[in-house]
Structure 1
């Protein structure tokens, strides 16, 4: 499943978390790039995030 354009929560340091949008996702490696509200890019792996909202869910509830 692609996480492109998903809203996710990710850990920025030991006790801090932030939200952002997935702007790149490699299904084969699980790596991704997230852009936060300030435009900063974070790189990590999908096992270290929590999905808040998927684009496919938004489309399914429209209407």
Structure 2
């Protein structure tokens, strides 16, 4: 399953974690590219992330 557009938490080093949106996912290689709120890209392995909101989940907002 592609993780493109998923909101994820990713580890940047041993003690640092950030959130971002997956903008590219190579399912065969198990790698992805994530863009954080500041527009910075992180490239790494999909086993170093935690999915917060999958791309097929929809969030309803009260109007």
TM-score by length of 2: 0.89
Larger fraction in helix: 1
Q: How does 1:25-44 map to 2 (within 5 A)?
A: 25-44=25-44
Find runs of 4+ consecutive structure 1 residues off by over 2 angstroms.
Answer: none
CA distance in 2, matches of 1:32, 1:55: 14
Alignment partner, residue 7 of structure 2:
7
Alignment partner, residue 48 of structure 2:
48
Q: In structure 1, list runs of 5 or more residues that go unmatched.
A: none
Q: In structure 2, list runs of 5 or more residues that go unmatched.
A: none
**What is the Cα deviation at residue 39 of structure 1?**
0.4
TM-score by length of 1: 0.89
What is the total number of aligned residue pairs between the two structures?
61
**What is the Cα deviation at residue 27 of structure 1?**
0.8
**What is the Cα deviation at residue 22 of structure 1?**
0.2
| 1:3-35 Cα deviation digits (max 9, x unpaired) | 000000001111110000000001101110000
CA-based RMSD: 1.4
